[in-house]
Structure 1
């Protein structure tokens, strides 16, 4: 029982420090993946670590504080909206043709991602897979 409490305390400390690191725009996907993996390992063992790491990596996009400012940046860029027939959600893989992706400015710290507008919604996309990793609200 003592080991479980010690592990839970360590996971909570790592989660809080990882969240603060990511909010400062410094952590990105790596910090999110590490934090998610530790938290997942505590709850679900090795399988939980894998799932937690994947979810944490996706959460490594824009922080809640950055999102409104970034959204306004995109609006000012007057990026055309791509019309997509399906729902726009995290995990959606966009088509290979017809979608134009743009660099995320350095000050937002999401350098591993690109942005675009789909059905009038600003989204961050992993350029390697074309998978939406964040719908920016």
Structure 2
């Protein structure tokens, strides 16, 4: 019985982490940290819950992404033309890319945003690495 619960929890964590990775690097990092913290406190079930909670903390939550994209549109931010694929992990150059503060209601004060090839992205300001692409 205990092995079944553990296996089911492990599958949930893997699936949750995989979908978080597909969404964004920030969410993936958050999911991993949340799963590790949840496992330490609550075992396998805690890892599953922690992984989901951590993914939400890592970037703009799924339910707020449309609202954020609408907000960015109203700001009329010039789009930076990037010759590479706009993806999580890509590093934006210092020249020509202006990073802006994310409004507090989105709860990602550690990141900034900009628009690249017409797509809003969250960026880690210290490294200029894209942590979430908001299609």
| TM interval, short-chain normalised | 0.5 to 0.7
Query: For residues 102 and 108 of structure 1, what CA distance do their matches in structure 2 show?
Result: 13
Task: Tell me if structure 2 keeps the 8 A contact 1:29–1:59.
Answer: no
Return the TM-score normalized by structure 1: 0.64
RMSD: 3.7
Aligned residue pairs, count: 112
Offset of residue 90 of structure 1: 0.7
TM superposition outliers: structure 1 runs of 4+ over 3 Å: 4-14, 28-33, 36-41, 56-59
Question: Can you give the 5+ residue segments of structure 2 that lack an aligned partner in the other structure?
Answer: 14-26, 41-50
Q: Hey, what does 1:23 align to over in structure 2?
A: none
Structure-to-structure mapping, 1:1-137, within 5 angstroms:
2=2, 4=3, 32-37=31-36, 60-137=58-135
Task: Tell me if structure 2 keeps the 8 A contact 1:84–1:118.
Answer: yes
